[in-house]
Amino acid sequence: MSQSTSAQQPSKEQSKWLDGGRQESGNLHAAESGGPRIVPNSSGHVATSLESSRIQADPCGHGSCTAPALAAVDSITDDDALFVRSLTERFMSNPAGDDDIRLVQRQLGRYPRGMVSVGARCAVCGAPFVVVTRPMLTDGTPFPTTCYLTSPEAVKAVSHVEAAGRMAQFNELLAQDERVKSGYVRAHRMYLAFRSELAGRLGDDERHIAGISAGGMPTRVKCLHALVAQSLVMGNGINPIGDMTLELISDEFQPGVCRCSIHEAQSR
């Protein structure tokens, strides 16, 4: 998907963490119209070099972003592990229904392969903002971008921030601010932990994407869409750059304000 849109002047300078309670990470109760469609993969898949190059070429799927391949999955605190486990449970017990899949297909202009659940919704109309995608698609294709931003309004708003050059500023902030740096590392670890929980529940092999999270984590900022997606799925206080980006785009996109162009009742 293209994220090349006209640049917009940045609205304000960001140097702080957000206050709590910005958004809930998705109302999942309205989701189910169909039964679970998530079929565990058979074990033992090993990525081919073609698959590996596909991951590296466009890990976030929003353009030309690249992500670093890192070796190890580092540990997270017990509280964070508990949080990730309960998040996984929530999504696994609220699988994507037919209506959600249709809506996301219209948002993306393609079928959302490997969609596990809706990761975050518009608080007003219920339209999906983010989808949670399984670590390995049923044909064996590895899929590292577990939290994928689908809301056209959010994608566009984030693209404006990227086009305005904010990623360079975030990279500077990341290099200079120890709190942001450590928060970003934690976000990376939680992203991996979340995907591992999903992989365990679904029987997906994630060895070929071990250590690869999204958006450039943990050392660089390379795709704000991916970071915002994580912030929307996991809530405020997990991904500092995603949270700051959400604040930057609040004039264009807010989880609690419905600006959705694609609704359930509309035709295309």
Residues engaged in binding Zn ion (CB under 5 A): 122, 124-125, 127, 258, 260
* Per-residue tokens: 122: 């518009």
Identify any residues that bridge with 120 across adjacent strands, giving them in sequence order.
130
Nearest distance, CB of residue 127 and Zn ion, angstroms: 5
Judged by beta carbon, residue 187 or residue 260, the one nearer Zn ion is: 260
Least distance to Zn ion, CB of residue 263, Å? 7
How is the beta sheet containing 115-121 ordered, strand by strand? 115-121, 128-133, 147-149
Nearest approach in angstroms of CB 256 to Zn ion is: 10
3-state secondary structure of 247: helix
Closest CA to 121 of 136, 103, 106: 103
**Cβ proximity to Zn ion, 182 vs 266, nearer residue:** 266
Please give the Cα distance from 52 to 232 (Å, whole number). Answer: 27
CB 21 within 8 A of CB 236: yes
Q: Which two tokens stand for residue 232?
A: 């929307």
CB 129 → Zn ion: shortest distance, Å?
Answer: 9
Which are the contacts of 27, defined by CB distance < 8 A and separation ≥ 6? 121, 123, 126
Which of residues 128 and 135 has its CB atom nearest to Zn ion in the complex?
128
Output the smallest distance, CB 121 to Zn ion, in A: 8
Best CA proximity match to 38, nearest among 93, 105, 99, 104: 93
How far, in whole angstroms, is CA 75 from its chain's centroid? 20
8 vs 27, beta carbon nearer Zn ion: 27
**Which C-beta is closer to Zn ion: that of 33 or that of 77?**
33
Q: Which is nearer to Zn ion, 12 or 29 (CB)?
A: 29
Non-local (6+) Cβ contacts of 94 within 8 A are: 28, 29, 31, 32, 117, 118
- Rounded least distance, CB 156 to Zn ion, Å: 14
> How far apart are alpha carbons 188 and 8 in whole angstroms?
29
Chain centroid to CA 65: 14
Which one, 128 or 240, has the nearer CB to Zn ion? 128
| Shortest CB 213 distance to Zn ion, Å | 28
